Structure formats: C-alpha cells, structure tokens
Amino acid sequence: MLIAIPDLIDPETLARVRGIIDAAEWADGNATSGHQSALAKKNEQLPEGCPAALEAGGIILDALGRSPLFFAAALPLKVFPPLFNRYGEGHSFATHVDNAIRIKRGSEFRIRSDLSVTIFLEDAAAYDGGELVIEDHYGVQRVKLPAGHAVVYPSSSLHHVTPVTRGRRVASFFWLQSMVRDDAARRILFDLDQSVQRLTGQLGGSDRSVIELTGVYHNLLRRWADS
C-alpha cells in the first residue's frame, strides 16, 4: 500500500525544519546503511542523534501526531526517530530493500520496519531527478512530491532514488512498526476508514449506518492489531 500524505508539514513548520537542518554539519549517508545499502547509496545525511536531527525530528513527530490521514494509513505502534538526507548533483540510491529490524544506536529501542516514510523538504521544481521509485504489486510507482508532502509505503518493497542532475533534494525519512503487521489488512482498514469519514460528512456521525460501519472498523482493528 502506497499512500501520499499531502501537506503533512505546513510552510511555516517546513521553514523551521529547514532552518535547523541547513545550518547543521552533514556527513556521508552510509552512516545508517546495511551492507547492501552501503554499496548502493551516494548521498549526505545528518548524523543520527545529533542535536539538529533531534530537534527537527521532534518537529516532524509533532506533525505526524496532528495528521489523521497519516494515522489511518500507518496505524503506528512505534516510530523510529526521523532522519534527514540530501542528494546533490550526481547523488543517487540504487535499488535496495530496507532492513527488517531498525535499532536506534546506543539504546535498546528497536522496531520491525513495516512501513517506510519519506517527507519531501525541497520544492520539487528546485531540482531535477531525485524521484523515489517504488516497485509494488501494481507496478513501478515514481514519487516526487511538493515540499511538506509525504509518502508511506511498505518497507518490504524494492525502491531507489534516481540520480539528481540539478539542484539538491532534501528529505526526512524513517520507518515505523504498525499495530497491524499485514499490509493487506492495513489496506482494508484504511479504505474502510476513508469510507466512514466520507459517510460521516454526508450523513452525520449519529446516522445508524455510520455507527455500525465504525463498529466494523474497530472490531477489525481489535482482531488484527498488536499493542
């Protein structure tokens, strides 16, 4: 399931995040790479746990908490602290798959990576290339979204970032463990949630059909969710 989250970060918050990370000292992007990714990746990254990454990451997490669409799509149980990367001219990330388990350095925090998230932090018109290309059951999806928009997709999918040929691509990326492990089950719950929201707008929250469908949603979530 690949879902775009428009306007996850508003322009004012985006400016705050960029002000923090642009002033920080960047490092080689392979700091968080596994063996396979290290062979494929060429970019820059804020060091994990550096003050700028922690401050900007906290702002990102606050934005996630305010987004009903993100919650409906991801049903997050645990979220890895957001990381930040940038691709200059000639940088790219060849086809790879994300590690199944992500461990926060220097701690016992670990997650099963069910979903990967990319939040675009640069105006799409400011750079050429830099598309996130995701291979899923419906074919190849090419993603390049406006600044402040995000995309959520299965961590199990093959994906890559095409070479940047002009400008610089800046993004936040991270992984999460969902309350619902199975991607197909999450898709059913997401579709049902969106239908309930539309019907609520049309019929009102007190309509019996809306209440019954809401009950179906929560009963399915109760059946499938880990907590």
Asked if 86 and 170 touch (Cβ cutoff 8 Å), the reply is: yes
Residue 35 amino acid letter: H
Bridge partners, residue 125, by sequence? none
Overall fold of domain 3-178: Jelly Rolls (2.60.120)
Residue pLDDT, tens place only, 183-215: 999 999 999 999 999 999 999 999 999 999 999
Overall fold of domain 183-224: DNA Excision Repair, Uvrb; Chain A (4.10.860)
135-154 mean pLDDT: 94
Domain ranges of the chain: 3-178, 183-224
Whole-structure pTM over 0.85, yes or no? Answer: yes
User: Which is nearest to 118 in space by CA: 171, 70, 156, 154?
Assistant: 171
What is the pLDDT of the chain when averaged over all its residues?
Answer: 94
Task: Please determine, for residue 35, whether its predicted confidence score (pLDDT) is greater than 60.
Answer: no
Bridge partners, residue 44, by sequence? 28, 86
Task: Please determine, for residue 56, whether its predicted confidence score (pLDDT) is greater than 90.
Answer: yes
* Two structure tokens written together for 161: 């970032």
52-67 mean pLDDT: 98
The full length of the chain comes to: 227
What's the pLDDT at 37?
Answer: 58
What's the pLDDT at 32?
Answer: 55
